[in-house]
Structure 1
């Protein structure tokens, strides 16, 4: 059984027990998170596609904590001006574990 969900403008294929990194949210560790935008649900009775979403379907996940992505560096350089700047950025994500998929 799997589902395709939308979160933060991205689509994810999720299965129960799967760990997933989504956009950062101010949610405490151990709390529950529900994804309502479900595009498709696959189960024993076959595939259910939404137009655009499957009505009544949802995916429940528990929050495992907050993590940071790898550091990226941004360099700005102006030629012949002796002007250089280097900064870095680490994006924060919320790691969740998919608990159950409630389909139609």
Structure 2
């Protein structure tokens, strides 16, 4: 069984027991999250599609902790001006584990 849900403008295809990174939330490790904007659910009996979402279906997950992406470097260079600038950014994420897909 799998589900497709929306979080932070992105769509995720998940199955129970799967671990993934979502946008950062200030939540302690061990707490639970519930995603209620489920677009589709697939099982042995077929695929259920929402229009646009499925009513009464949710995906619950537990928070494992915080993680970070690789550092991205941004460079600005102005030719013939002896001017350059280099900055970096490292995105924070929340690592979650999918526990169950409820309401199917």
| SS of structure 2 residue aligned to 1:56 | coil
| SS of structure 1 residue aligned to 2:61 | strand
What TM-score does the superposition give when structure 2 sets the normalisation length?
Answer: 0.97
Is 2:68 the counterpart of 1:68? Answer: yes
- For residue 53 of structure 2, what is the aligned residue in structure 1? 53
Give the Cα–Cα distance (whole angstroms) in 2 for the partners of residues 7 and 63 of structure 1: 15
Give the Cα–Cα distance (whole angstroms) in 1 for the partners of residues 91 and 84 of structure 2: 23
| SS of structure 1 residue aligned to 2:95 | strand
Is 2:47 the counterpart of 1:27? Answer: no
Q: CA deviation at 1:66?
A: 0.3
Kept after mapping to 2: 8 A contact 1:41/1:103: no
| SS of structure 2 residue aligned to 1:29 | coil
Written as runs of structure 1 = structure 2, the 5 A alignment for 1:1-104 is 1-104=1-104
Q: CA deviation at 1:64?
A: 0.3
Q: CA deviation at 1:47?
A: 1.4
What TM-score does the superposition give when structure 1 sets the normalisation length?
Answer: 0.97
* Structure 2: gaps (5+ residues): none
| Structure 1 residue runs of 4 or more that deviate by more than 6 Å after TM superposition | none
* Structure 1: gaps (5+ residues): none
